[in-house]
Structure 1
Amino acid sequence: MILVLIHPRNAGLPFLQWLPEEKGQLVAVTAVGTGIGEGFADAVSVADYCDDEAVLAAARKLIRRYRPRAVLALAEIDVERAALLRGEFGLAGLDTAAASAYRDKVLMKEYARAAGLRVPAFARVSEAADITAFMAARPGRAVVKPRGGSGSTGVHVLEDPGEAADLMLDMPYEVEEFIEGDLHHVDGFRVEGKPVAAVASRYGGAACLAHLTDAPLGSRSLDDTDPLHERLVEETWRLVEALPSPATVFVHAEFFVTGSGEIVLCEVAARIGGGPIPAMLRHILGIDPRELWARVEGGLPVDLDAVRKRSAIAPRAAFCGLPPQNGRVVRLPEAPRDVHDFVLNTFVGDDWSGDRYRRRKSADFVASWVVTDADPAALGAKLDATTELVSAGFGWELADTRGSA
């Protein structure tokens, strides 16, 4: 039996299709109103999935009743929860020390720096004066972000120390130097200490901060003959060794590559990347990485050699996601030709203005899709062309923001 923590963003994932051997042997904790699909023997819903105590209480109730052999967590918010539960009930997997290192952006950089990896200059933040002092000592832009955040929520890029006074520091934060460079991500997977696959990709434009200017977020995998691919993969495994990682782990690491070619850590998570990344990886690995991870975490057989072989010969892949605008959807696009996994996450009349717009995350896409091609130039051309088509297909009635702060 397996306990699955199902964030509302993961509603409807086909766990029974992925884990057919576990039919009737799955139990879940999720939010009220979230569909969990078939194959579950029991489920407990909580009113607020952001309430740690409520989720943990529900999970403990299910664990005591059914004694599952594993806890499966796919969302960032569930990483530390699952680790805590494993420790309490003696279950294998990522423990609390590892979960903290992968979630706390200060702690992860301390581990990485101690192992000789290049990290931005950084400091803990408890009040605005900490940011002001940091920027006074290091002139130039700085980035302020929640230590345990995800999806680029709560991230601020400051041009001047005086801007710190306007920030609402309602949780633990860190400040770090702004690194000029292209942001890349590496999605790596190892089992019992042996790497299975690692895919290095480059974000386009402003990367995970693109949504702050209503710009699309795109990413394309690097050709594995590109020397940068090998360097990024090597740096990822060095990072995994630097942190208190378990022998079996899936990581989503992000690195800046500067104009001089230096690789600088941005951050790393002990989970599969969000948004369209799983769909993109499926075309490279030959299996949905969430299915792969669910089976490994549950102790079920997986043909890892097939994954290794597929990732070595698969076509390159790219994804694009369009963020919401500050307004109401009045027209929807059609799926362009020659795209895969086209998903619309909105509808005509959907209102994204106001507080919903202000709280949007980097992966809150109204539409996303994947393109593939063996030729890197053709892959880029497909990504650019489809982005233009889908963007033009949307119609928005924008909110009137005159007079707003």
Structure 2
Amino acid sequence: MSVLVLHHRGSLRGTPYDRWLADYDGDVLLLGSRRHLDLVGEDLPGAGSGYRHVEALDGYEAGGTVEPRAVDLAREHGVRHIIACQEQDLERAARLRELLGLPGQRLPSTIPYRNKLVMKDMARAAGIPVAPYAAVECAADVIAFAGERGFPIVVKPRDSAGSIGVKVIGSQEELDRYLAEDAGLHGPFQPNLLVESYVPGAMCHVDGLVVDGRVVFAWPSQYLFALSTFKEDTGGRLDVTLDPDDPLSRRLLELADRVLAALPGPRHFAFHAEVFHTPDDRLVLCEIACRNGGASIRDIMRALFGADPTECWVRAQLGLPLPIDTAGPRLRPSTMAGQLVLVKRAGRVVAVPQERPFPWVEKYNIFVRPGQVMNGPAFSADFLASFVVTGPDRRTCESRMRQVEAWFLGGLVIEPLTGDGPSGPARRPAGGEGTDAR
């Protein structure tokens, strides 16, 4: 009896499935992406790990290699469960479970969380506010939507993650350029796009864990940056939890509950819901995913509730005991927390601060090393470094993140790729898990 883990993206050191499943009565097999392991600078676990079989595949992202290999491993090792925690693996895992007759999440409870068009249809039918939107089958659909709704508009893939492929279009001139250049609207294949009105305001998110069909814990946070600007905005990107006595906290939690009730979910899953808080105090659903939030959101949830939501999600699928009470009332946070991330920028890394400077920095991850040549960020979670801080309230957490940012940039040296020499300590913001610098 074995369990097969599909691992599309991120650090294996940060997601030690073998340790999480050390008490599983069977073998643990792993299929990963060679490209994404290279991005985080990791090799496959070697001798001494708890895996029976580990393998990194080329072409993992494009498909066509993972499924045949997964079927071969399932038949060879008697796989009884397939675990997939990254968004791009969810549909693949659901189809494999159906093909192999295995338990777990199937397509009917996967598609509404992966296809944003289906998601918005179901949410709107349940009376949940969403931005005006439309399917895009050709360029004329975008033109018609802009003509009816005006600018700005947002065009994005229906199944994107990490803000990949999201385009904010603010004028007719920008739309003309987009329609002339964007490959998503050209070629023989039907576009996998939708268009929606741009919603002004702050972006909040609610992250939580569902076990046996009920929410065990959940908490709201607010991004202090725009997710879609990761390629242009290299500054520190802050994300902080909302205080328990903030009226917005209650409203966001209630909206998340309504969204979960409107969509068909599996028995056990983590979720990450993004919600606009508009200047006129409305809450508008952006989207929801049945997986953990990116960056250091797992670490924030661990600080708040004393348990890793991914570990709990994995163990719940295999019927293993969890480190938290899942039968009692919904858990309450023990502290507040926030994360600071800095995305990569082009250049050669000369020096990166190594030591954690303050006792309230719960985790400090470095994703690059001296001598490494960086390109610009490929997706919103393509990080240079990340920090998790804790504090008694939101205001303290935000202040501490600003303090950490100043310390880090004071010791960061990046050499331009032009050959003009080191840039010196970074005086301006320079902005998966990587090296844990705790």
Report what 1:148 is aligned to: 159
- 1:389 pairs with 2:396: no
Report what 1:347 is aligned to: 369
In the aligned structure 2, how far is the partner of 1:332 from the partner of 1:118?
44
In the aligned structure 1, how far is the partner of 2:196 from the partner of 2:403?
36
Using the TM superposition, give the Cα deviation of residue 247 of structure 1 relative to its aligned residue in structure 2, in angstroms. 3.1
Q: From the superposition, tell whether residues 62 and 238 of structure 1 become closer, same or farther in structure 2 (CA, over 3 Å).
A: same
Using the TM superposition, give the Cα deviation of residue 115 of structure 1 relative to its aligned residue in structure 2, in angstroms. 0.8
Q: From the superposition, tell whether residues 310 and 66 of structure 1 become closer, same or farther in structure 2 (CA, over 3 Å).
A: same
**Cα distance per residue 1:52-79 (max 9 Å; x no partner):** 2211111111222223332111111111
Q: From the superposition, tell whether residues 395 and 23 of structure 1 become closer, same or farther in structure 2 (CA, over 3 Å).
A: farther
Using the TM superposition, give the Cα deviation of residue 5 of structure 1 relative to its aligned residue in structure 2, in angstroms. 0.6
Q: How does 1:143-182 map to 2 (within 5 A)?
A: 143-160=154-171, 161-165=175-179, 166-169=181-184, 171-182=191-202
Q: How does 1:240-255 map to 2 (within 5 A)?
A: 240-255=260-275
Tell me if the contact between 1:16 and 1:23 (Cα under 8 Å) persists in the aligned partners.
no
Tell me if the contact between 2:208 and 2:272 (Cα under 8 Å) persists in the aligned partners.
yes
- 1:41 pairs with 2:52: yes
- 1:369 pairs with 2:387: yes
Q: From the superposition, tell whether residues 156 and 399 of structure 1 become closer, same or farther in structure 2 (CA, over 3 Å).
A: farther
Q: From the superposition, tell whether residues 98 and 212 of structure 1 become closer, same or farther in structure 2 (CA, over 3 Å).
A: farther
Counterpart AA for 2:287: E
Report what 1:135 is aligned to: 146
In the aligned structure 1, how far is the partner of 2:293 from the partner of 2:205?
9
Report what 1:61 is aligned to: 72
Q: From the superposition, tell whether residues 389 and 211 of structure 1 become closer, same or farther in structure 2 (CA, over 3 Å).
A: farther
Tell me if the contact between 1:253 and 1:267 (Cα under 8 Å) persists in the aligned partners.
yes
Counterpart AA for 1:94: Q
Secondary structure at 1:21's aligned position in 2? coil
Q: Which moved more, 1:182-191 or 1:295-304?
A: 295-304
Aligned residues: 397
Counterpart AA for 2:6: L
In the aligned structure 2, how far is the partner of 1:59 from the partner of 1:74?
16
Tell me if the contact between 1:22 and 1:39 (Cα under 8 Å) persists in the aligned partners.
no
Using the TM superposition, give the Cα deviation of residue 243 of structure 1 relative to its aligned residue in structure 2, in angstroms. 1.4
Unmatched segments (≥5 aa) in structure 1: 401-405
* Pick aligned residue for 1:83 from 87, 91, 94: 94
In the aligned structure 1, how far is the partner of 2:197 from the partner of 2:137?
17
Q: From the superposition, tell whether residues 149 and 192 of structure 1 become closer, same or farther in structure 2 (CA, over 3 Å).
A: same
Higher helix fraction: Structure 1 or Structure 2? 1
In the aligned structure 1, how far is the partner of 2:329 from the partner of 2:228?
30
Counterpart AA for 1:15: Y
Q: What is the TM-score when the length of structure 2 is the normalising length?
A: 0.85
Q: What is the TM-score when the length of structure 1 is the normalising length?
A: 0.92
Q: From the superposition, tell whether residues 86 and 324 of structure 1 become closer, same or farther in structure 2 (CA, over 3 Å).
A: same
Using the TM superposition, give the Cα deviation of residue 272 of structure 1 relative to its aligned residue in structure 2, in angstroms. 1.0
In the aligned structure 2, how far is the partner of 1:274 from the partner of 1:373?
21
Counterpart AA for 1:35: L
* Pick aligned residue for 2:30 from 28, 31, 40: 28
Secondary structure at 2:160's aligned position in 1? coil
Secondary structure at 1:305's aligned position in 2? coil
Tell me if the contact between 1:285 and 1:307 (Cα under 8 Å) persists in the aligned partners.
no
Q: Which moved more, 1:336-345 or 1:167-176?
A: 167-176
In the aligned structure 2, how far is the partner of 1:307 from the partner of 1:123?
41
In the aligned structure 2, how far is the partner of 1:131 from the partner of 1:298?
45
Report what 2:357 is aligned to: 336
Secondary structure at 2:261's aligned position in 1? helix
Report what 2:7 is aligned to: 6
* Pick aligned residue for 2:319 from 299, 310, 321: 299
Tell me if the contact between 1:325 and 1:398 (Cα under 8 Å) persists in the aligned partners.
no
In the aligned structure 2, how far is the partner of 1:263 from the partner of 1:310?
23
In the aligned structure 2, how far is the partner of 1:320 from the partner of 1:159?
29
Runs (4+) off by over 6 Å: 306-310
In the aligned structure 1, how far is the partner of 2:363 from the partner of 2:153?
37
Counterpart AA for 2:23: E
**Cα distance per residue 1:106-130 (max 9 Å; x no partner):** 1111111111111111112233332
Counterpart AA for 1:350: Q
Tell me if the contact between 1:284 and 1:310 (Cα under 8 Å) persists in the aligned partners.
no
Using the TM superposition, give the Cα deviation of residue 246 of structure 1 relative to its aligned residue in structure 2, in angstroms. 2.1
Tell me if the contact between 2:350 and 2:371 (Cα under 8 Å) persists in the aligned partners.
yes
Q: From the superposition, tell whether residues 208 and 314 of structure 1 become closer, same or farther in structure 2 (CA, over 3 Å).
A: farther
Using the TM superposition, give the Cα deviation of residue 311 of structure 1 relative to its aligned residue in structure 2, in angstroms. 4.4
Report what 1:403 is aligned to: none
Tell me if the contact between 1:24 and 1:40 (Cα under 8 Å) persists in the aligned partners.
no
Using the TM superposition, give the Cα deviation of residue 163 of structure 1 relative to its aligned residue in structure 2, in angstroms. 3.3
- 1:199 pairs with 2:219: yes
RMSD: 2.2
In the aligned structure 2, how far is the partner of 1:138 from the partner of 1:350?
46
In the aligned structure 2, how far is the partner of 1:211 from the partner of 1:247?
37
Q: From the superposition, tell whether residues 187 and 305 of structure 1 become closer, same or farther in structure 2 (CA, over 3 Å).
A: same
Tell me if the contact between 1:330 and 1:348 (Cα under 8 Å) persists in the aligned partners.
yes
Using the TM superposition, give the Cα deviation of residue 365 of structure 1 relative to its aligned residue in structure 2, in angstroms. 0.9
Unmatched segments (≥5 aa) in structure 2: 38-42, 186-190, 419-438
Secondary structure at 1:240's aligned position in 2? helix
Tell me if the contact between 1:151 and 1:361 (Cα under 8 Å) persists in the aligned partners.
yes
Counterpart AA for 1:337: F
In the aligned structure 1, how far is the partner of 2:298 from the partner of 2:314?
13
Tell me if the contact between 1:322 and 1:391 (Cα under 8 Å) persists in the aligned partners.
no
Using the TM superposition, give the Cα deviation of residue 320 of structure 1 relative to its aligned residue in structure 2, in angstroms. 0.9
* Pick aligned residue for 2:287 from 267, 272, 289: 267
In the aligned structure 1, how far is the partner of 2:279 from the partner of 2:228?
19
Report what 1:16 is aligned to: 18
